[in-house]
Amino acid sequence: MDAQNLIGRRIAQELRDGMLVNLGIGIPTLVANHLPPGVHVYFQSENGLLGTGPVPEQGMAHPDLTDAGGRPVTALPGACTFDSAMSFGLIRGGHLDMTVLGGLQVDEHGLLANWMIPGKMVPGMGGAMDLVSGARRVVVAMQHCAKGKSKVVERCSLPLTSIRPIDLLVTELAVFAFPDGRATLLETAPGVTVHAVRAATEAQFTVSPAVRPMSLD
Amino acid sequence: MKTIGIERAIEMIPDGASLMIGGFMAVGTPEPLIDELVRQGRRELTVIANDTAMPGVGIGKLIAAKRVRKVVASHIGLNPQTQQQMIDGTLEVELVPQGTLIERIRAGGFGLGGILTATGVGTLAEEGKRRIEVAGRPFLLELPIRADFALVNAKIADYYGNLAYALTARNFNPVIAMAADCVLVCAENIVPVGVIPPDQVVTPGPVVDYLISH
């Protein structure tokens, strides 16, 4: 399994039957491919769809049925559509059980930066600030390093997405939680030692007494 | 009767006007109105919308033709031309969190003096805004937005201007229809009054000023 699918598969273990979940673009979209058998969740697309299904078969795309990237999707039986005010009411109002987002940096207090690199990439925050501020549980799916540098940092150098700390960080090396605003190593990926995680991580973190191998099913 | 030809409709919009435009990555954007704005050479526009789509699609056509002076949007990441014009200094871009943008428009159309949201507290989105505490929690005061014109896309309209929308093409459309001085609607189907069941009407006819005739 490649790094991205490993992350997606681990995060899929966090899903519980009946949850309302929003998946961001990039690695988070892979979570839907690893849904454990028997678990039924509702995926929200913030452009106004709850009950998002898989990509349509060739020739079956509907121009007015799309995901938040404007790509064709399907609607599962029981799906509903609504306007953007309702969509963000679901997100901010505590109705969204979980959001899974990509990240540029996560710091040792669980703060996330994922929407701009000043002077380089200014795409806009889209719905990310609302999602991190409003979802009941925030999970970040991120590769541990970029160009050899740790993305799990002491302090975010990039502009923050929210001052609300995330709940769980899953990389291809490890799983961290942030109880009381401090990074805590919960799991290591198959074949990865705690020592190896420390060597690849800029942030200070404590190791949970119950640290264990990453659960993938 | 509220119907109007598309040429006359766009002639009402002066250079420098502010436009709210429906659509999310061009899905639910009234493309014929965009094409006519470009054709008639309208310029110096302020566009308030979720995003600027992609080059050559929806609002991306106005960006490509350099007809926009200012954009208020939540996301411009899929349109490199918007980003380039912003870097070149020819286009002003105000980025607003998506949930905040739609609520500011809603406030503008629903007669509210603003809204309070926790989104953006402690981030760059807080710059220049008032922080207000409610029950010990910090919120940002976000002010209402209105525009001179709303360009709305609907699935079905009747001749009173009652509107219903299609799937994810709804997005910003019913909200902007409340927040502009003049509301222009491009509908895929125009049906006789009474055909849309009352409980399927999303936008009430009286808020619509003009329906583009087919």
Q: Is the pLDDT of residue A25 over 90?
A: no
User: Long-range contact list for B123-129, CB < 8 A, 24+ apart?
Assistant: B123/A129, B123/A159, B123/A160, B123/A161, B123/A162, B123/A163, B124/A159, B125/A125, B125/A129, B125/B95, B125/B96, B125/B97, B125/B100
Q: Is the pLDDT of residue A212 over 80?
A: yes
pLDDT band at A176; cut points 50, 70, 90: very high
Q: How many CB atoms lie within 10 A of CB A54?
A: 10
How high is the mean pLDDT of chain A?
A: 96
Residues in CB range of B185: below 8 A, 6 or more apart: B30, B152, B153, B154, B157, B161, B163, B177, B208, B210, B211, B212
Closest residue in B to A75 (Cα) is B167
- Residue ranges of the domains in chain B? 3-98+145-212
Of residues A53, A57, A35, the one with CA closest to residue A44: A53
Distance between B117 CA and the closest CA of chain A, angstroms: 9
Considering only CB atoms, B125 lies closest to which of A62, A84, A129, namely A129
How high is the mean pLDDT of chain B?
A: 97
Does the domain formed by A3-213 have CATH 3.40.50.720?
A: no
- pLDDT at residue A26 in the model: 86
Assigned token pair, B84: 């380039």
Inter-chain CB proximity B168 and A91 less than 8 Å: no
pLDDT band at B1; cut points 50, 70, 90: low
- Model pLDDT for residues B108-122, shown as the tens digit of each residue: 999 999 999 999 999
Strand partners, A185: A176, A207
Can you tell me the mean pLDDT for B98-104? 98
Can you tell me the mean pLDDT for A110-119? 95
Give the distance between the most distant pair of CA atoms in chain B. Answer: 55
The helix (H) or strand (E) run that includes residue A169 is strand A168-170
Rounded CA separation A178/B59 (Å): 41
- Model pLDDT for residues B29-53, shown as the tens digit of each residue: 999 999 999 999 999 999 999 999 9
What amino acid is encoded at A183 in this protein? A
Q: Is the pLDDT of residue B10 over 80?
A: yes
Q: Is A14 a catalytic residue?
A: no
- Residue ranges of the domains in chain A? 3-213
Can you tell me the mean pLDDT for A175-184? 96
Rounded CA separation A69/A55 (Å): 12
- pLDDT at residue B194 in the model: 96
pLDDT band at B22; cut points 50, 70, 90: very high
Of residues A138, A107, A104, A113, the one with CA closest to residue A205: A107
* Percentage of chain B modeled with pLDDT above 70: 100
State pTM to two decimals.
Answer: 0.97
Please calculate the CA angle B42-B23-B206 and round it to the nearest 5 degrees.
80
- pLDDT at residue A121 in the model: 84
- Model pLDDT for residues B68-97, shown as the tens digit of each residue: 999 999 999 999 999 999 999 999 999 999
Q: Is the pLDDT of residue A120 over 90?
A: no
Residue A179 at interface with chain B, using a CB cutoff of 8 Å: no
Task: Write the DSSP symbol of residue A104.
Answer: S
pLDDT band at A188; cut points 50, 70, 90: very high
Through-space distance between the first and last CA atoms of chain A, rounded to whole angstroms: 13
Query: Which one of A62, A125, A158, A163 makes the best mutation probe of the B interface by having the most chain B beta carbons within 10 Å?
Result: A125
> What CATH superfamily classification does B3-98+145-212 receive?
Glutaconate Coenzyme A-transferase (3.40.1080.10)
Can you tell me the mean pLDDT for A176-193? 97
CB A186 within 8 A of CB A139: no
- Model pLDDT for residues A60-89, shown as the tens digit of each residue: 999 999 999 899 999 999 999 999 999 999
- pLDDT at residue A217 in the model: 77
Rounded CA separation A152/B116 (Å): 32
Distances from the Cα of A181 to the Cα of A159, A163, A178, angstroms: 18, 11, 5
Can you tell me the mean pLDDT for A128-146? 97
Inter-chain CB proximity A125 and B73 less than 8 Å: no
